[in-house]
Amino acid sequence: MRPFAVPALPTRVVFGSGRLASLRDELRAAGLGSALLLCSASGRELARRLAAELPEATVGVFDQARMHVPRHTVEAAGKTAVSLGAEACVAVGGGSAVGLAKALALEAGLPYVAVPTTYSGSEMTAVWGITEAGEKTTGRSERVRPRAVVYDPDLTMSLPAGVSVTSGVNAIAHAAEALYAPDRSPLTDLMAGDGVRAMAAALPRIMERAGDPGARSSALYGAWLGGTCLGLTTMSLHHKLCHVLGGALDLPHASTHAVLLPHTLAFNLAAAPEARELMAQALGDDDPAACVWRLNRRLGVPASLRELGADRAGLVTVIEQALAVPYANPRPVDRDDLDRVLTAAFAGDAPPRLSRTA
């Protein structure tokens, strides 16, 4: 067996239907003072409900979280936290709320608890990102990990099916890249495989019946595993391109992941036989990239970056930014490679099939 190391995870996780009721206890157990609730417009109702239910533990609601964490949003939230005397935060929602909480933890020293309502999984990572002047800067810092995460599948019941599936495929991307990460371990392999298996099985059920409690619980479980893998390993080409596409072209985060994943899988799994085998086992298909492509079509995921609003000319900027900073990847990447991957994703072409001997 190859050598490996597994970093310790300092975040407490509670999971289960009805666990939102434990938020007060989690804040107290973490030793957190009065908290500012952070959310986007879609999470406003839940955040205001929590503020009303926990008046002794919260100081207000900031409901302007946005995808890709714009610099001006971070500054506005920071001013609100200071004016209300917040000593901590609670992120209520998906990646936008969690990303804003991370930025405040990084820059203002405000610890937080996460209450996810989507399948983003970013709450389980030490990765932060802030967008300014069309460029998204990312980094890693243990300061941005939440003190606790409250996973309550009941909170995902009202998540629209379309948002659910793109968010869920995003979680599959986290697990997939963990399988060929340079710092993967037997633990991340197990979590990634089970996460892909759970999510791929749950998403079609959610499309058929959005309120299926078993499917919602399985999907949130898969999201937790995918997010944990994201937090324990080094991501590669797929995540690099998604970050650049989001920052440069302001594309929707989860949908961009979903559209791009079959193409980056086809490129990387050709050079990562162990990862391909583990993905094949999890999906029950010898060609995981083609399987994810078909899953996307079945789920109604947008087929192309063009459908998401990408400008073909803007892909030149994406390529330049993606090549500017080195990152780990199972095979070398050059300008022509990026052009082929992005062109196929822009046009909505099916990914090239993996040979059985790859």
Q: Which backbone phi and psi does 259 adopt, to 5 degrees? A: -65, -45
User: What would the mean pLDDT of 272-294 be, rounded to a whole number?
Assistant: 97
pLDDT score recorded for residue 288 = 98
Residue 358: pLDDT band (50, 70, 90) is very low
Q: Which backbone phi and psi does 140 adopt, to 5 degrees? A: -125, 135
pLDDT score recorded for residue 356 = 65
Question: How many CB atoms within 10 Å of residue 85?
Answer: 11
Q: What is the CATH number of domain 161-347?
A: 1.20.1090.10
Crossing angle, helix 237-249 and helix 315-324, to 10 degrees?
Answer: 130
Q: 88 pLDDT exceeds 60? A: yes
Listed in order, the ranges of the chain carrying CATH 3.40.50.1970 are 12-156
Instruction: Tally the C-alpha atoms within 13 A of residue 238's C-alpha that lie toward its C-beta.
Output: 35
pLDDT score recorded for residue 4 = 86
pLDDT score recorded for residue 171 = 95
How much is the CA Rg of the chain, to the nearest whole Å?
Answer: 19
Enter the DSSP assignment of 16: S
The DSSP bridge partners found for residue 150 are: 14
Each residue's pLDDT tens digit, 121-146: 999 999 899 999 988 898 989 999 99
Instruction: Sort strands 12-15 and 148-151 into parallel, antiparallel or unpaired.
Output: parallel
pLDDT score recorded for residue 229 = 95
Topology of domain 12-156, per CATH? Rossmann fold (3.40.50)
User: What would the mean pLDDT of 237-253 be, rounded to a whole number?
Assistant: 93
Each residue's pLDDT tens digit, 198-209: 999 999 999 999
Each residue's pLDDT tens digit, 94-123: 999 999 999 999 999 999 999 999 998 999
In Å, how far from its chain's centre is CA 348? 22
Each residue's pLDDT tens digit, 31-86: 999 999 999 999 999 999 999 999 999 999 999 999 899 999 999 999 999 999 99
Q: 343 pLDDT exceeds 70? A: yes
pTM surpassing 0.85? yes
Each residue's pLDDT tens digit, 284-328: 999 999 999 999 999 999 999 999 999 999 999 999 999 998 889
pLDDT score recorded for residue 115 = 98
Q: Give residues with Cβ within 8 angstroms of 29, minimum separation 6.
A: 12, 148
Q: 357 pLDDT exceeds 80? A: no
Listed in order, the ranges of the chain carrying CATH 1.20.1090.10 are 161-347
